[in-house]
Chain A
């Protein structure tokens, strides 16, 4: 098992709430990623980071924001959740460019 952890595993919240999905890794990896996964399986890259204080938007436009203040921590925040944000969110890290990625178990978010 990879040393990358996401919390919570499951979250049900009401529309308009602010939420933060946590992702931490203990492997010292510089590269970290957030993916949003459809019920039909497709993964969409929504944010990535090269290292501390660097964040970039991914291929899929997202209303979420991320921060990277520490190497091991890459939280994702939704300021005002909507039902359209209901999805599985997967965090990943990798030690260098062009290497394998290690995934957390995911957070399944439901906005009601």
Chain B
């Protein structure tokens, strides 16, 4: 079964609002990553947070990680119509696994 589960599955907001997406996972991780996918395209890496980090920022993105709850959140501030896409979390397991396992994804729609 997949490692990560994004929540909510779909989110529709107005331009300028903040969007928060949550990800839960099951096993111990080395790091957690967030990716974005525009319709019909490949995934693009957004941000990586290591297991010993609690928060990370990149531009309008803020990621938090709570390893005790095995969860992460991605916050997009001041959203734009161009942020409309699907967002995925992915985990790299602790212990040397080469695998990067993705969650089911969440569809964000930002209305102009």
Contacts and interface: CB of A to CB of B under 8 A. Distances in A.
Interface residues of A, number: 29
A56 to B, nearest CB: 7
B45 A102 contact: yes
A74 interface: no
A101 interface: yes
Interface in B68-112: 86, 88, 90, 92, 96, 98-105, 107
Nearest to B107: A41
B45 A100 contact: yes
Contact of A33 (B30, B88, B100): B100
Contact of B42 (A41, A44, A59, A103): A103
B2 interface: yes
Nearest to B97: A97
A101 B100 contact: yes
A98 B29 CA distance: 10
Given A101-B45, A103-B42, A43 B30 contact: no
Interface string B2-43: 100000000000000000000000000011010101001111
A74 B20 CA distance: 36
A99 B36 CA distance: 16
Given A35-B102, A42-B105, A56-B98, A100 B33 contact: yes
19 contacts: A41-B86, A41-B105, A41-B107, A42-B2, A43-B88, A44-B2, A45-B99, A45-B102, A48-B98, A48-B99, A56-B98, A59-B101, A97-B92, A97-B96, A100-B45, A103-B35, A103-B43, A105-B41, A108-B40
Given A35-B102, A103-B43, 19 more contacts: A31-B98, A33-B100, A41-B37, A43-B88, A43-B102, A56-B98, A59-B2, A59-B99, A92-B42, A97-B92, A98-B31, A98-B92, A103-B35, A103-B42, A103-B44, A104-B42, A105-B41, A105-B42, A106-B41
Interface of A: 6, 31, 33, 35, 40-45, 48, 50, 56, 58-59, 90, 92, 94, 97-106, 108
